[in-house]
Amino acid sequence: MKANLYLGKVFGMKIKLHWTFYILLLWLAIQQLIYTTNSLLLMFLAISIVFLSVVLHELGHYLVAKKLNIKFEEINISALGGIHKYEKQSNSPKEELLVEIAGLLVNISIIIFLYSFMSLNNYNFNFFEIHKNLLNLTIQSSLIYVLNVNILLLVFNLIPVFPTDAGSILRAILTLKTNRLKATTIVSKIGFFTVLIFVLLGLIYNMLLLFIAALFLLEAYNENEFAKHVTLLKERTVKDAMLTNITTFKPQDYLHNVVNKLVVSTETDFVIKENGLVKGVLYHNDIVNNSTRKIKIKDVMNYNVEFINAEDELSKVYNLFKKKGSSFFPVIQNQKLVGAINSSNLNEYLLLLSRLYL
């Protein structure tokens, strides 16, 4: 499921709304229905506070990363806080540690600030009733809500499951002692047991915990896979995984020639060449959709080609597959076509690597 909504940039940091945030909106709406009859303003205030707190937390990560020259691709605002995606991860666990801790420090600072400057008589934090505080709609109650949300964000981020900060911090510390891949696997296992404990507690005490566990499970699964894959592919280049024995066609060739090839081989997409130059790519979908028509390749091929360099890191291609709709790229070396790479042959390579190293 990838319905992330792009919202805009803050200090150059790209912000997207993760699909799990919609679940949070739904939960807030239900809370409103339970506690009040009609309060759109409250709902708006609550969402803004959650949203801004998460953005501030992420800005903490982002600004420290920027100082260390580590680039973020984007941040996703999810139901459990922010998830930041690196464009390229740092090779130094110490730098990673600094970036990850910075987010937590933002929440801790907000909590300390609010706690020491507000006269909070009879304040006590109740995880299941944080929403009640907002009902009075005073400055004091709004600030208490800010405090509560920041405590929640801090608590969530201290649970050692990817993609929380604690998960990444734990991995960075373990990477200092062992290698990154082992560290990732250990954190994945700890994460799995943590989620299991959440599920058990949810069954015993409160269904909300069960709901949070389900969200964690979904996010943690994706993030664990992502973390493992990126680590496995680190320092491996496109050359290691690309298809070298590929069939090429000319723009003037008839499509039925490609259809015949499609039927008898395992190739699904094709590079189109003319006079030694790559002219475009013919995607599987376009072949199938036009297979009954008597047309030439040039009428259905895609002229907008993005090339991958044989020396490029495979993790870069992995990210590209995750981001783009197309899953097939021609590979070049010294400006000559040397092969192609598609998502299924990359997945196969990942499968082999995980059998070997995990």
Stretch that binds Zn ion, among 128-136, 159-167, 223-231, 270-278 (CB under 5 A): 159-167
Q: Which stretch binds Zn ion (CB under 5 A): 91-99, 164-172, 198-206, 336-344?
A: 164-172
103 binds Zn ion (CB under 5 A): yes
Q: Which stretch binds Zn ion (CB under 5 A): 16-24, 66-74, 158-166, 249-257?
A: 158-166
Which CB atom, from 165 or from 219, has the smaller least distance to Zn ion?
Answer: 165
Minimum CB distance to Zn ion, residue 160 (Å): 13
Nearer to Zn ion, 165 or 286 (CB): 165
Burial class (CB in 10 A: 0-12, 13-18, 19+), 234: middle
Residues 327-345: b if buried by 16+ CB within 10 A, e if exposed = bbbbbbeeeebbbbbbbeb
Min dist CB 163 to Zn ion, Å, is 8
User: What Å distances lie between residue 242 and 236, 266, 330, 352, CA to CA?
Assistant: 11, 14, 9, 14
Distance separating alpha carbons of residues 322 and 285, to the nearest angstrom: 18
**DSSP per-residue codes, 30-91:** HHHHHH-SS-HHHHHHHHHHHHHHHHHHHHHHHHHHHHTTPPEEEEEEETTEEEEEESS--S
- For the bound state, the minimum distance from the C-beta of residue 339 to Zn ion, rounded and expressed in Å, comes to 39
Phi then psi for residue 53, to 5 deg, are -60, -40
By CB under 5 A, residue 330 contacts Zn ion: no
**Least distance from Zn ion to the Cβ atom of residue 57, Å:** 6
Site residues for Zn ion, window 266-325 (CB under 5 A)? none
Nearer to Zn ion, 154 or 332 (CB): 154
What is the residue whose two structure tokens read 């590929």? 246
Report the nearest approach of Zn ion to the CB of residue 146 (Å): 17
| Count, residues near Zn ion per rule CB under 5 A | 2
Q: Which of 74, 95, 96, 165 binds Zn ion (CB under 5 A)?
A: 165
CA distance 35 to 167: 35
Q: Which residues of this chain interact with Zn ion, rule CB under 5 A?
A: 103, 165
